[in-house]
């Protein structure tokens, strides 16, 4: 049994991940910003933790993650407001990485997106630019952290049922179901060969465990 803290525990991917972990006996804690979401995550088998990482400092987040075996970052501002995008997708993500270091929690899996990189190529005038910048900075921070990190880069998300099959070889972004993303997070937590790797993926034809194996 592992103790897993999921930040952004009420997100669409996280709500698919919670029962996948809970059903196999993991002790799952879902950090949610809105108290009204606590019942939803508890119904999915997690313990709700009401905490707004956007406003908490590193020490406060460290107190929340202490005692966990792994942290999964699956939070996001949801776009629309550049200031909040930077505050959540960059700044809060970076503080959470630092908090995991401070608390001695080695395993850290972060959900990014397929095209995230410092040279992402998004035009500064594009509304997507703040998100691209925020994710690039957060991903680089986790890579430099010394933690046992994995960066997952799913392509465009869909609501299609998960097949358990993905493609990690393509150089171009396609589409991937949120359920397959949740399944990939679970598989990454189980596979230490994913530590220190960035794994970009689409829906595909290869079983997830085989597709992500190092």
- The parent domain of residue 174 ranges over 3-212
**Do 103 and 62 contact (CB within 8 A), yes or no?**
yes
Tokens 């189980």 sit on residue: 190
pLDDT at 79: 80
Confidence label for 93 from pLDDT (cuts 50, 70 and 90): very high
Count of domains for the chain = 1
Task: Write the CB contacts of 178 (distance below 8 Å, at least 6 apart in sequence).
Answer: 12, 13, 16, 157, 158, 159, 162
pLDDT of 172 > 90? The answer is yes
pLDDT of 60 > 90? The answer is yes
Catalytic residue among 73, 108, 131, 149: 131
Task: Give the DSSP per-residue string, 85-143.
Answer: HIIIIIIIHHHHHHHHHHHT--EEEEE--TT-STT----TTSTTHHHHHHHHHHHHHHH
- pLDDT tens figures, 99-143: 999 999 999 999 999 999 999 999 999 999 999 999 999 999 999
Eight-state DSSP code of residue 192: G
**Do 112 and 135 contact (CB within 8 A), yes or no?**
yes
pTM of this structure:
0.97
Query: What CATH number corresponds to the domain at position 84?
Result: 3.40.50.720
Confidence label for 202 from pLDDT (cuts 50, 70 and 90): very high
pLDDT at 124: 96
pLDDT at 58: 98
131 assigned to active site = yes
Residue of 209, 167, 168 lying closest to 192 (CA atoms): 209
């Amino acid at each position: 049994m592992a103790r897993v803290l999921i930040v952004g525990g009420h997100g669409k991917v996280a709500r698919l991940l919670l029962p996948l972990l809970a059903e196999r006996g993991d002790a799952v804690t879902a950090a949610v910003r809105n108290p009204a979401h606590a019942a939803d995550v508890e119904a999915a088998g997690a313990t709700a933790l009401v905490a707004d990482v956007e406003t908490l400092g590193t020490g406060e987040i460290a107190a929340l993650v202490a005692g966990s075996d792994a942290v999964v970052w699956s939070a996001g501002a949801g776009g629309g407001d550049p200031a909040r995008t930077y505050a959540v997708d960059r700044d809060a993500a970076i503080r959470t990485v630092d908090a995991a270091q401070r608390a001695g929690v080695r395993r850290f899996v972060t959900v990014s997106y397929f095209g995230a990189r410092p040279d992402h190529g998004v035009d500064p005038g594009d509304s997507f630019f703040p998100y691209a910048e925020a994710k690039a900075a957060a991903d680089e921070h986790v890579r430099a952290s010394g933690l046992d990190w994995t960066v997952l880069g799913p392509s465009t998300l869909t609501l299609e049922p998960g097949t358990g099959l993905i493609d990690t070889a393509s150089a171009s972004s396609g589409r991937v179901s949120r359920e397959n993303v949740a399944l990939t997070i679970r598989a990454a937590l189980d596979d230490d060969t994913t530590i220190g790797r960035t794994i970009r993926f689409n829906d595909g034809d290869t079983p997830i465990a085989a597709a992500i194996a190092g």
